[in-house]
Chains A and B, each alone.
Chain A
Amino acid sequence: MITAERKSFDQIKESIKEFESLLVLGCGTCVSVCMAGGEKEVGLLASELRIKNRLDGRDVRIGEATIQRQCDQEFIGPILETARKYDAVLSMACGAGVQLVAEMLAPMRVIPALNTRFIGITQEEGVWVERCRACGNCVLADYGGICPITMCAKSLVNGPCGGSKGGKCEASNEKDCAWVLIYNRLKKQNRLENIFKMFMPKDYSTQAHPAQMVNEAYLKVGVEEKHGK
């Protein structure tokens, strides 16, 4: 999932101080799972804002809504009319969601309430860790299912640096050295010879931004349906 965490309350407050009405808009997918921007978090943030505004003697109308996905036009469409009744939208989606909502509501102001962090997994309740950098050229098959691009702090593909200590990373003794993990995994798979391969410089052109992907087959079907056969 895409993980995100809420900006500090002070930062959020500062970014919306000019508005007299505000819709706090949650997203029901990734950021809901990582407890940053789902329905529950919308309720919490909206309440916090209402209390703070009352204490400050400000009269700000604060509404709440959560849609299933802010990265999908289909789900944003039905909320547009409601959203336009406010001065601004405080989006609790990842950066992609914020941008699509802003595009569909333009020129209305859409303010982010979260910092988008990474593509990751839930390690334990309340702890998420990065597992993929979306490099566009997956190498997991070569490394026993452990990604050196993501899990090695230096994204080294030909073996560790000299900074691994006690199986931990130079960056932090709380993080495992990815290469020690890869070595142990491949050894258990009897595939250590894989590490001896020379991996050539990675093709970072797949990371050219903004990236786009097109499903040609799907497009074709769509066109045929629209125009009849």
Chain B
Amino acid sequence: MGSSKFQEALQSGKFVVTAEAGPLKGTSTTELEEIASVLRGKVDALNVTDQQSSVMRLGSMATCHLLKDWGMEPIFQMTCRDRNRIALQSDLLSAHVLGIENCLALTGDLPSLGDHRQAKPVYDLDSVQLLWAIKRLNEGYDIAGNELKGKTNFFAGAVVNPGADTEAAYELQIIKMQKKIEAGARFFQTQAVYDPVTFAKFMKRVEHFKVPVLAGVIPLKSAGMARFMNKNVAGVFVPEQFITKMAEAENKVKAGIEIAANLIKDLKNICQGVHLMAIGWEKKVPEILKTAGLIS
């Protein structure tokens, strides 16, 4: 079986761009189709989140399948929060049958952060074990050791938080990254990066793993959003200069796009690509990439 288009993009050595789309709550796919048509040909792949922030929505697998139909290369995000090992493996088989080739394994936020706070969290497998499960399915076996009639062919990846704020948390992120690679992760997408200097140090630390890393970029929409992330989102640190720029900017959209584009320019020399989490600004991604000089 061949490689996915996303895998080929990474292997080509070019600076790879992925973006993120979150399915909506409900069955409406109009917005997703619009995002797909805006981003087609502009990004190498599109991640589809899995019940992001533990808010119940349309599923990632069905959305990934639709994206294939719309000519996009999807990355199927899969968390360990809502499914046990039977359901996770079965969904991976189903995703394969639907033509999905890339999978991103995540732990998943706690249900208490979402809109069904009384839900029972699962976490039967963790993200390292999920990667291992994908590897086993690719090899033609389930994790109980039973042989499959027809195996999967996933290009599996994982996430890492390069901005962990204590020595222990930082070292643990690198240790877990190593374990994820050993379990089968072949690319990484990171939490949002705002300080290329600190991120460059992180990349130096993980260089020897020789696994491509796409740095997370979240365009700022306002000073308030930046302050909120600094206070509440683990591993995200927006420097004061960006907050001031956003606060003083007359045209916030233009300022947010400029900051993101400049970050991408800096990151180009540090890692293998960027992962744009636009959170509602998906249709502005082409403009960000254009300002960063990645597309014309």
Contact = CB atoms under 8 A, between A and B. Distances in A.
Nearest to B133: A201
Interface string A158-175: 111111111100110000
B126 A158 contact: yes
Interface stretch (A75-83, A137-145, A179-187): A179-187
A195 interface: yes
Given A156-B123, A158-B128, A170-B113, A163 B172 contact: no
B175 A162 contact: no
A196 B169 contact: no
A170 B107 CA distance: 12
A198 interface: yes
B112 to A, nearest CB: 6
Q: Which 3 A-B pairs have the closest CB atoms?
A: A159-B176, A162-B161, A158-B128
B191 interface: yes
A158 B127 CA distance: 8
Contacts of B240: none
Interface size class, chain A:
20 to 34
Nearest to B125: A201
B248 interface: no
B168 A170 contact: no
A162 B159 CA distance: 8
Given A170-B113, A183-B171, A156 B235 contact: no
Contacts of A201: 85, 124-125, 129, 143
Interface secondary structure of A, over-half rule: loop
A184 to B, nearest CB: 6
Contact of B129 (A154, A161, A195, A200): A200
Contacts of A202: 124
Contact of A198 (B128, B171, B234): B128
B208 to A, nearest CB: 15
B194 interface: no
Interface in B124-154: 124-129, 132, 143
A196 B168 contact: no
Contacts of A158: 126-129, 176, 179
B175 A196 contact: yes
15 contacts: A154-B121, A154-B123, A155-B123, A156-B126, A158-B128, A160-B173, A160-B176, A162-B235, A167-B169, A170-B113, A179-B168, A179-B172, A180-B168, A184-B168, A201-B143
